[in-house]
């Protein structure tokens, strides 16, 4: 049976390997000059390829049942075993799994070697010009024409388009009559408007970020916050960003509430600051927070509270310390936008999962058409979840296309 996979990224290579292992005669059509370019940039070049704490609730978009139906067919354990048979020894960093060599290129090489070994034909630098479908698929590219009994679309989304995922997969899906849930950047930095910027650019600190849409808290995460010239970045921001992206697209008000001392309650912080002022009454606000915050951040908070850097601790009233405690634990930043697809790690949105069977990833609309990876309306949290989705969905599409 001839199977064509469009897109040679993480999910496409996985689908190709699985389909080939199950008797398919597989061709991968990739429009970039080489396959798997995005894999090379994952995990800062180290490739966090799965996570031991996997659960369907780590995914957004197309529905937990849909995700669960796919993940249960190719679990984290299956992923670890699969890569081990390909020669990739796993390194566990608090549940975040990397190849032992900490080189993303090792993961891509292992996939490429396996595909080649299985006889998968990989055709790079080929762009799809047309796909005709009657009983079989005829896929016309700028170089050739391919006949296929089964077609797997694994074109990725729109994030990091320089790696090849330029959104053209959505065009192909729509041409088959599929709906696409509007696509927005996710796992992305947020632009904020506040006098604190750009003075705090470069500051990194432990913080809790809670994202509010209108006046409702919709997502929260804690970790290393990075303050930039334009707004906020870092893992906790990435984790909440897809909600901001979606809400901004709907013209809703988005606010990031930053807790700069998440281990303190408001009361405890208030009394701590009072006591600190009693111990150092002579200290000016310029240095009062030394040892708590990086200097740039301390100065920004003091300024925001309307205090002069020359004000001595002994001159501050109890209500000033109370206001400072409130500000530190709930610093509100109006979010005005997100960085674009070029800076995003994934997209939220994609092919509507209600039109796809979670048991097989076959289209409900077009027989023998399958989907895999980020092209579908599924986005995972940061931490190896998106690649796990690529492996699991690639496996399911490849297996069922070959068996179908
Ligand atoms: C900087 C960065 C770091 C990341 N780090 C991690 C991480 O550490 N862990 C993690 O789990 N996830 C990470 N991700 C996310 C993860 O890489 C993606 O979710 C995953 O690669 C998606 O796999 P995919 O196969 O669906 O799409 P892609 O990997 O994007 O592959 C799609 C492929 O299809 C090709 N293609 C597209 N359209 C066509 C077409 N019309 N014709 C032919 N070919 C086409 C593309 O060129 C590409 O090769 C990261 C993403 C980025 C950008």
Residue 59 has pLDDT above 90, yes or no: yes
Domain boundary pick from 339, 361, 387 = 339
Whole-number Å distance, alpha carbon 182 to ligand 1 midpoint, is 18
Which percentage of the chain shows pLDDT scores above 70? 100
Closest-CA residue to 30 (of 51, 53, 12): 12
Whole-number Å distance, alpha carbon 272 to ligand 1 midpoint, is 48
Domain identity same for 8 and 82 = yes
Q: Is 46 in the pocket of ligand 1 (CB under 6 A)?
A: no
Domain identity same for 204 and 151 = no
Domain identity same for 237 and 98 = no
Residue 222 lies in a domain: yes
Residue ID of nearest Cα to ligand 1 atom 23: 10
Domain identity same for 140 and 38 = yes
Whole-number Å distance, alpha carbon 163 to ligand 1 midpoint, is 7
Q: Which of 155, 372, 373, 397 best tests ligand 1's pocket when mutated (most atoms within 8 Å of CB)?
A: 155
Domain identity same for 178 and 193 = no
Indicate the Cα dihedral angle 158, 49, 106, 35, nearest 10°: -20
Residue 115 lies in a domain: yes
**CA dist., res. 350 & res. 376, Å (int):** 5
Domain identity same for 203 and 126 = no
Q: Is 185 in the pocket of ligand 1 (CB under 6 A)?
A: no
pTM: 0.96
**CA dist., res. 128 & res. 104, Å (int):** 28
Q: Where are the alpha helices (DSSP H) in 64-129?
A: 64-71, 76-85, 104-118
Reported as a single tens digit per residue, the pLDDT across 132-150 is: 999 899 999 999 999 999 9
- The most distant pair of C-alpha atoms in the chain lies apart, rounded to whole Å, by 84
pLDDT for the residue numbered 56: 93
Q: Is 236 in the pocket of ligand 1 (CB under 6 A)?
A: no
Domain identity same for 29 and 142 = yes
Residue 345 lies in a domain: no
Closest-CA residue to 400 (of 374, 377, 365, 368): 368
Residue 214 lies in a domain: yes
Q: Is 396 in the pocket of ligand 1 (CB under 6 A)?
A: no
Domain identity same for 330 and 377 = no
Nearest ligand 1 atom, CA 7? 34
**C-beta of residue 355 within 8 angstroms of C-beta of residue 364:** yes
Domain identity same for 200 and 99 = no
Which percentage of the chain shows pLDDT scores above 90? 99
Domain identity same for 18 and 136 = yes
Mean pLDDT throughout 382-396? 98
Q: Is 140 in the pocket of ligand 1 (CB under 6 A)?
A: no
**C-beta of residue 290 within 8 angstroms of C-beta of residue 298:** yes
Reported as a single tens digit per residue, the pLDDT across 178-233 is: 999 999 999 999 999 999 999 999 999 999 999 999 999 999 999 999 999 999 99
What residue numbers bound the domain in which 305 lies?
Answer: 189-339
Residue 344 lies in a domain: no
Mean pLDDT throughout 221-248? 97
Would you mind telling me the total number of residues written for the chain in this entry?
A: 404
Strands 25-29 and 121-123: parallel
Domain identity same for 239 and 332 = yes
Nearest ligand 1 atom, CA 14? 25
Whole-number Å distance, alpha carbon 200 to ligand 1 midpoint, is 33
Reported as a single tens digit per residue, the pLDDT across 80-117 is: 999 999 999 999 999 999 999 999 999 999 999 999 99
Closest-CA residue to 332 (of 252, 258, 229, 231): 258
Q: Is 379 in the pocket of ligand 1 (CB under 6 A)?
A: no
* Mean pLDDT of the residues in the chain: 97
Q: Is 350 in the pocket of ligand 1 (CB under 6 A)?
A: no
Residue 65 lies in a domain: yes
Query: Tokens representing 35?
Result: 């396959």
Q: Is 337 in the pocket of ligand 1 (CB under 6 A)?
A: no
Band of residue 404 on the pLDDT scale cut at 50, 70, 90: confident
DSSP 8-class letter at 159? S
CATH number where 61 lies: 3.50.50.60
Residue 77 lies in a domain: yes
Reported as a single tens digit per residue, the pLDDT across 153-177 is: 999 999 999 999 999 999 999 999 9
Angle (CA) 284 286 290, round 5°: 100
How many domains in the chain? 2
Residue 62 has pLDDT above 90, yes or no: no
Mean pLDDT throughout 19-48? 98
Whole-number Å distance, alpha carbon 45 to ligand 1 midpoint, is 14
Q: Which of 6, 127, 156 best tests ligand 1's pocket when mutated (most atoms within 8 Å of CB)?
A: 156
Q: Is 390 in the pocket of ligand 1 (CB under 6 A)?
A: yes
Mean pLDDT throughout 286-294? 96
pLDDT for the residue numbered 210: 98
Domain boundary pick from 319, 339, 359 = 339
Domain boundary pick from 339, 359, 386 = 339
**CA dist., res. 299 & res. 305, Å (int):** 10
pLDDT for the residue numbered 63: 87
Domain identity same for 64 and 155 = yes
Reported as a single tens digit per residue, the pLDDT across 323-374 is: 999 999 999 999 999 999 999 999 999 999 999 999 999 999 999 999 999 9
């Amino acid at each position: 049976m001839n199977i064509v996979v469009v897109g040679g990224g993480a999910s496409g290579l996985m689908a190709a390997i699985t389909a080939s292992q199950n008797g398919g005669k597989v061709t991968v059509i990739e429009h970039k000059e080489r396959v798997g370019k995005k894999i090379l940039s994952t995990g800062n070049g180290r490739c966090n390829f799965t996570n031991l704490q996997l659960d369907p609730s780590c995914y957004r978009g197309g529905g937990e049942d849909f995700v669960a139906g796919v993940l249960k067919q190719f679990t984290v354990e299956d992923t670890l075993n699969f890569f081990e048979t390909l020669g990739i020894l796993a390194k566990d960093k608090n549940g975040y799994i990397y190849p032992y060599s900490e080189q993303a290129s090792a993961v891509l090489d292992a996939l490429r070697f396996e595909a080649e070994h299985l006889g998968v034909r990989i055709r790079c630098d080929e762009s799809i010009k047309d796909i005709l479908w009657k009983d079989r698929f005829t896929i016309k590219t700028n170089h050739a024409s391919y006949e296929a009994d089964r077609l797997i679309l694994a074109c990725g989304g729109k994030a990091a388009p320089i790696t090849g995922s330029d959104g053209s997969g959505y065009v192909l899906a729509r041409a088959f009559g599929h709906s696409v849930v509007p696509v927005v950047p996710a796992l992305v930095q947020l632009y904020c408007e506040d006098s604190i910027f750009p003075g705090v650019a470069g500051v990194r600190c432990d913080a809790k970020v809670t994202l509010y849409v209108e006046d409702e808290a919709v997502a929260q995460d804690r970790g290393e916050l990075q303050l930039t010239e334009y707004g906020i970045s870092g893992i906790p921001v990435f984790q909440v960003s897809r909600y901001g992206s979606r809400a901004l697209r709907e013209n809703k008000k988005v606010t990031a509430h930053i807790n700069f001392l998440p281990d303190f309650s408001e009361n405890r912080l208030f009394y701590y600051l009072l006591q600190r002022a009693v111990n150092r009454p002579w200290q000016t606000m310029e240095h009062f927070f030394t040892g708590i915050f990086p200097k740039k951040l301390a100065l920004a908070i003091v300024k925001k509270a309307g205090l002069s850097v020359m004000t001595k601790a002994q001159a501050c009233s109890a209500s000033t310390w109370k206001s400072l405690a409130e500000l530190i634990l709930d610093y509100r930043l109006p979010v005005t936008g997100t960085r674009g697809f070029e800076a995003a790690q994934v997209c939220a949105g994609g092919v509507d999962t209600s039109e796809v069977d979670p048991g097989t990833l076959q289209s409900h609309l077009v027989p023998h058409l399958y989907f895999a990876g980020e092209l579908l309306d599924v986005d995972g949290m940061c931490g190896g979840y998106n690649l796990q989705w690529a492996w699991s969905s690639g496996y399911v599409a490849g297996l069922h296309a070959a068996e179908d």
